[in-house]
Structure 1
Amino acid sequence: MMPLWLDLLRTPMAAPETKVLKRMRMTILSICAILLVSIAALAPLRAAVGIAAGGVVAALLAVLAVLVPIYVVTKNRADDRHLDTLCEDREP
C-alpha cells in the first residue's frame, strides 16, 4: 500500500492556465474586491448616489453569478483535456 503523501505526489496536476482563463480569474477576483469595498462602504455610497447604491451591489452580484459558472465550466474542460492528453501519452 502506498503512503498518502506519495499517492498525492502522483496525482495529476491541473492544466496550465491559459491567458483567457487567467483573465477570467483575475476579473472575478477584481469584481469580488469591488463588491467587498462597495458593501463595506454602502452608507457613504448611498449618500453619494442615493438609492442606486443597492443597484450597484446587485449588478456586481449578477455579473459574478454569470462569470463564475462560465469560468468553472471552461476550467474543468481545460483540465479534462489536459488529463486526457497525459493519459494518452502514458499508454503504450
Structure 2
Amino acid sequence: MPLWLDLLRTPMAAPETRALRRMRLIWQGLCLSVALVVGFFSQVHAALGRAAPCLALGLIVAAGAHTWLYLRRKNAADNAFLERAGEAG
C-alpha cells in the first residue's frame, strides 16, 4: 500500500470530547476578544480609561494560559487515542 494511502487511513486525532470542545470554544472566544480589544483599543481606552491596558493584558495572559492548557490536554487525548488504536510510535 502506498504511504499516502496508509496515512489517509490512519486516524490522526482523537474524537473531540465535550470538555475539549468547550475548551476549544473558550479558546476561540479568548482569541477573538484579544483581537477585538487590540483592534479597537482606542475606543476601549476611551470607554474604560486606565483599566483598558489591564483588560488587554488580562485577556492576553488568559489566552496564552488557556492555549497552553488546551494543547496539553488535546495532545494527551490524541496520544491516548492513538495508543488504544495501536498507532503510537
**d(CA) in 2 for partners of 1:10 and 1:44?**
50
Aligned residues: 87
User: CA–CA distance in 2 between the matches of 1:72 and 1:3?
Assistant: 28
Corresponding residue for residue 74 of structure 1: 73
CA drift at 1:3: 5.2
Compare CA radii of gyration and give the structure with the larger one: 1
Q: TM-score, normalised by structure 1?
A: 0.85
In structure 2, runs of 5+ residues without a counterpart are none
* Aligned alpha-carbon RMSD (Å): 1.7
**What amino acid maps onto 1:57 in structure 2?**
A
Note the 1:46-65 alignment, pairs <5 A.
Answer: 46-65=45-64
Tell me the distance in 2 between the aligned counterparts of 1:79 and 1:51. 43
